[in-house]
Amino acid sequence: MKKLTTFIVILVVVGTLFAAGTKEAKAEGAPITLEWWTWDPTMAEENQQIIANFERENPGVKIANTIVGTAEYWTKIRIQANQNKLPDVFTMSSGYIEEWAKEGLLYNLDSFVERDDTFDLFYQSIFDTNKAISNSDSYYAIPFALVTTVLYYNKDAFDRAGLAYPTDGWGWDDFRSAAKKLTIDKNGDGKIDQWGYWFYGRYAHVEPWIYANGGTLLDRSTMRFSPDKKAMDAMKMLTDLVLVDKVAPAPKDMSAFQQQDVFPQGVAAMWVDGSWFVDTFRKNVQHDMRWGIVRVPSGPSGSNTLTYGWPDSYALAPNTKHPEMAWKFARYVAGEGIGLDTYMAGKIPSAKKLATDPLFSDPNQQPGKDMDLLIEQAAGPMTTSYSMGWGEWRGYGGSEALGLNGTIDAIVNGLMSFDEAFRRSTESINAVLKRYYK
Amino acid sequence: MRHTPYRWHKPLTPWVFVLPTVVGLLAFKLLPIVSALYFSFTEWSLLGSPLFIKLANYRELVSSEVFVRIVRNTVQFSFVYVIGSMVFGLALAVLINVQTRGIAFFRAAIYLPVVTSAVAVGIVWNWMLGPTYGVINNLIEAMGMTPPYWLADMKLALNTVATVQVWKMSGYYMIIFLAGLQNINADVLDSARVDGANAIQSFFRITVPMMASTLFFVLTITIIDSFKNFELIYAMTKGGPQNASNTLVYDVYLNAFVYYRIGYASAIAYVLFIIVALMTIFNFYVRKHLVEGLD
C-alpha cells in the first residue's frame, strides 16, 4: 500500500511538472497548426509542395490540408460550420459567399485588406467582384483565381469552310452567318455531321450571351427573377439557333455525349463555356485539333466588354484562433507565394505577378496569345447572376435538368413554346427566391 | 452429461457481443429516423440551428404540383420495376434451370449487371440509347422505323430508366427463383406430364403455386428495391426532362444535398416512409390471406 501511495505521488508530481513545461513551451514557441480545406483532389501534390514551402518560410507553423472531393465538399463543410469547427482557411465558392457571409460564417477581411496594401499584389477588380457577389460592403474572401466565359472555335473547321476566324468585334449576325456555313452534312446521308454551334440550358452557355447584350436575369432591387427585354432577346436568339436557323443540335440529340466533349470531338465548330476548359483541351485534345478563344459576340443592345466571370476564393473561419497567420497563409496560397505551375490553365490568377507571367500565354501551347484575352477580361467589368438559392433556381449539378436550365432545354427540345416555358419558370424560380429574400 | 459453465460467462456476457450492433443501430438508424421526423417540422440549411416551422414543409408538399407528379412517378417506377423484375427474373430462372454444358457461363453473365456499378450501367445505357449514334436507335432505324427519344421524351424517360433498372437487377431475382425452382420435387412434374399436362399447364398449375412463398418473398424485396432508384436516375436523366423522371428518393437527394433544404427533404422522406409502410401492410395482408395456405 505504501509503495502504491509513493508511486501515485511521483506520478502526480511528474505529471504536474510535465503540464507546466508544456504550458511554458506554448507560451514561448507557440507552435501553430492551421487547418486548410480544399475541394480539388487533383491538386494533392501541388498542395503538399505549397505547404512544404510555407512551413519552411514560417518555422513553428504546420498546415494540415484536407482535400474533400467536390461532390461532398459542401455537405461536409456545412456540417463543420454547424459545429463551429470550420477550418482556419477553406475554399469558398462564389455561389455561397452571400449566404455564408449573412450567416456570419466568414471572417471579415476588410482590416487585413486595407492594412497590407493588398491591391499592390492582387487585382482589385477580382476582389471587388467577390464583394459584389457577397451583396455586402465588405471583403469576405480572398480570390485565388478568376474564371470567365469565352467563345471556343475550331480553327480547322473554319479553314476548311474558308472562313475568317472570329474576332472580339463579332456581333450576332457574324456569328449566325459563320454557324450556318459551318453546319455540314459531310456524307450526304441527311444527318448533320458538324454543327456550327453547341449549347444547352447550362449557365455558362446562356448567361454570357445575355450579359454581352446588356441584359439581366434578376431585378436586384426586389431580388426576383425578372429577365429584361435584352435578356429575353439573347435567349430567343439562342433557342432560334436550334429551332429556326438549325445550326445547333437540340440537347436531346446530344444526350450520349458528355457536354464538354461535343466541341473537342469536332461535332460542333463553336462553343461558349468556362475558361477552365483550356486546361481540359490542352490535356485531351493536344494537337489533334487547332482551336482558339475570343470574346462571346456582342448583342445588338450591349457590348461583350462586360464579362460573365466569377472568382474561386479562400475564406477564413470567423472563429479562427490564428487570424493573422490564417490571413498570411491565405494570401500565400492565393498566389503571393506560389508559381503558375500550380494553376489549372484557363483560371486567371488574382495575383498580378502570376497573371503577368509570360508563361500564362505560353506560345507553345494552345491557344497561345489568345490567352491574353483572359487577362483583359479580368481587368474589365464583370457580372454574374449569383444569389442565394442560385443552384436551385438556375438548375445546377444534380438539378441540371430542372430550374432555368431545364426550361431552356424544354424549349429547344420542343417540349414547350418559348413564352409558355418562361411563364412557368418565372413562377417557379420566384417561388425559390421568395424563400431566401422574403 | 452436464457441462460446467465457462467461468468467464456472466449474465451480461451476451450483451457485450450484441452491444456494437445495438449501438450502431441506435446511432446510425434509429436516431437519424427520429431526428428526421423532428427536422421535417423545421427549416434548416445545415448552417445555424433548425428553425421550427410546424407543418409548413408538409403544407408546401401538399400544395406543390411538382410533388404530386413526383409521387406519381415513384409509384409508376415501382410498378414497372416490380412487374418487370418478377417476370424477367422468373423467365430467366426457368430458362437456365437446366443442366447443360456452359450453363454456368449464362448464369454468371445474367448476374453480372447486378454487381456492376449503377453509374457505369447508366452511362453505357445512355450511349446505347443515344439518338444519333446509339446502337439501339441505329437498329430501329435499320428496320425502317423512327426511333424515339428514350430519355428526352417526357412520356418515356421514367419507363426507360425503370426498364434499365429491371435489366440490371433481374439476375439477382433470377438466383432466388432458381433456388425455388430447384426445390420443386421433380416427381410432381413428371406425374403431371404422365397425366397429359403440357409445359404451360405444368408451369401455371404446378410450378407457380409451388413457388408461392418464393414469389411472395421476391415481391416483397422488389417492392423495397423499387424505391432505391437514385443512382440510375442521377446517371441517366437527373430527374428530367421537366421532372418527368424525378422520384421521391431523387427529390430527397436534391433538397438535402443540392439545395440544402434539410427540413423539406426530411418531410419528403417521411412521405416516402408512409408509402413504404402502406406497401408493407399490404404485403402482410397478401401473405396472411393468399400465401400462408400454400406454404
User: pLDDT by residue (tens digit) across A126-161?
Assistant: 999 999 999 999 999 999 999 999 999 999 999 999
Could you give the CA distance from residue A182 to residue A195 in angstroms, rounded to a whole number? 6
Query: CB–CB of B130 and A255 under 8 A?
Result: yes
Closest alpha carbon to B129 in B170, B91, B167: B167
In words, the CATH class of domain A21-147+309-379 is alpha beta
- Nearest-CA distance from A191 to chain B in Å? 9
Mode of pairing for the β-strands spanning A218-219 and A32-38: unpaired
Closest alpha carbon to B269 in B70, B23, B64, B52: B70
> What are the phi and psi torsion angles at A80 (to 5°)?
-60, -45
Instruction: Give yes or no for residue B7 having a pLDDT over 90.
Output: no
pLDDT of B145: 92
Look up residue A344 and give its DSSP letter: P
Q: Which residues of B touch A401 (CB under 8 A)?
A: 237-242
Please give the helix or strand (H or E) that residue A294 lies within, else none: strand A291-294
Nearest to A413 among B152, B238, B254 (CB): B152
Query: CB–CB of B132 and A82 under 8 A?
Result: no
Q: Which residues of B touch A82 (CB under 8 A)?
A: 46-48
Give CA torsion, residues B65, B67, B72, B76, to 10 deg. Answer: 140
Q: Which residues of A touch B66 (CB under 8 A)?
A: 428
pLDDT band at B254 (very low <50, low <70, confident <90, very high): very high
Please give the helix or strand (H or E) that residue B20 lies within, else none: helix B13-25
Is residue A314 within 8 A of residue A244, CB to CB? The reply is: no
Closest alpha carbon to A86 in A37, A45, A129: A37
pLDDT of A409: 96
Q: Which residues of B touch A81 (CB under 8 A)?
A: 46-47
A371-391 mean pLDDT: 92
Domains of chain B, earliest start first: 66-294 (1.10.3720.10)
Q: Which of A296-310, B101-115, B164-178 has the lowest mean pLDDT?
A: B101-115
Looking at chain B, which residue has its C-alpha nearest residue A391?
Answer: B259
ipTM: 0.86
* Chain A residues contacting B via beta carbons under 8 Å: 74-75, 78-79, 81-82, 99-100, 103, 105, 191, 251-257, 389, 391-392, 396-402, 406, 409-410, 413, 415-416, 428
Query: CB–CB of A78 and B241 under 8 A?
Result: no
How far apart, in Å, are the Cα atoms of A73 and each of A93, A321, B48? 11, 23, 18
Please give the biggest Cα pair distance in chain A.
103
Q: Which residues of B touch A90 (CB under 8 A)?
A: none
Query: CB–CB of B242 and A410 under 8 A?
Result: yes
All 3 cell numbers of residue A108?
A: 471579415
B153-172 mean pLDDT: 96
Is residue A86 within 8 A of residue B51, CB to CB? The reply is: no
Query: CB–CB of B239 and A105 under 8 A?
Result: no
- Every domain of chain A with CATH number 3.40.190.10 lies at 21-147+309-379, 149-308+386-436
Looking at chain A, which residue has its C-alpha nearest residue B126?
Answer: A256
pLDDT band at A246 (very low <50, low <70, confident <90, very high): very high
pLDDT of A28: 43
Nearest to A406 among B130, B133, B240 (CB): B240
Could you give the CA distance from residue A327 to residue A109 in angstroms, rounded to a whole number? 8
Burial B37-72 (b: 16+ CB within 10 A, else e): eebbbbbbbbbeebeeeeebbbebbeeeeebeebbe
Is residue B154 within 8 A of residue B241, CB to CB? The reply is: yes
How many other β-carbons are positioned within 10 Å of the β-carbon of residue A380? Answer: 15
Report angle CA B286, B184, B99 to the nearest 5 degrees: 130
Please name the residue ranges forming H helices in A41-190.
Answer: 44-57, 70-82, 97-102, 110-115, 118-121, 124-133, 155-160, 172-182
Nearest to A398 among B66, B243, B254 (CB): B254
- Nearest-CA distance from A121 to chain B in Å? 33
A277-298 mean pLDDT: 93
Query: CB–CB of B46 and A406 under 8 A?
Result: no
Instruction: Give yes or no for residue A79 having a pLDDT over 60.
Output: yes
All 3 cell numbers of residue A120?
A: 499592390
Please name the residue ranges forming H helices in A30-69.
Answer: 44-57
All 3 cell numbers of residue A239?
A: 433557342
Could you give the CA distance from residue B81 to residue B119 in angstroms, rounded to a whole number? 18
Closest alpha carbon to A383 in A92, A132, A152: A132
Q: Does domain A149-308+386-436 have CATH number 3.40.50.620?
A: no
Could you give the CA distance from residue B275 to residue B254 in angstroms, rounded to a whole number? 19
All 3 cell numbers of residue B132?
A: 444519333
Closest alpha carbon to B129 in B142, B120, B139: B139
Nearest to A103 among B48, B132, B154 (CB): B48
Looking at chain B, which residue has its C-alpha nearest residue A407?
Answer: B242
- pLDDT tens sequence across A197-241: 999 999 999 999 999 999 999 999 999 999 999 999 999 999 999
pLDDT band at A70 (very low <50, low <70, confident <90, very high): confident
pLDDT of B3: 62
Q: Which residues of A touch B134 (CB under 8 A)?
A: 256
pTM: 0.88
Is residue B222 within 8 A of residue B166, CB to CB? The reply is: no
Could you give the CA distance from residue B28 to residue B33 in angstroms, rounded to a whole number? 9
Query: CB–CB of A402 and B240 under 8 A?
Result: yes
Distance between first and last Cα of chain B: 39
- Amino acid symbol at A433: L
Task: Determine which of B119, B249, B259 to mutate to test the interface with A (most A C-beta atoms within 10 Å).
Answer: B259
Query: What's chain B's Rg over C-alpha atoms?
Result: 24
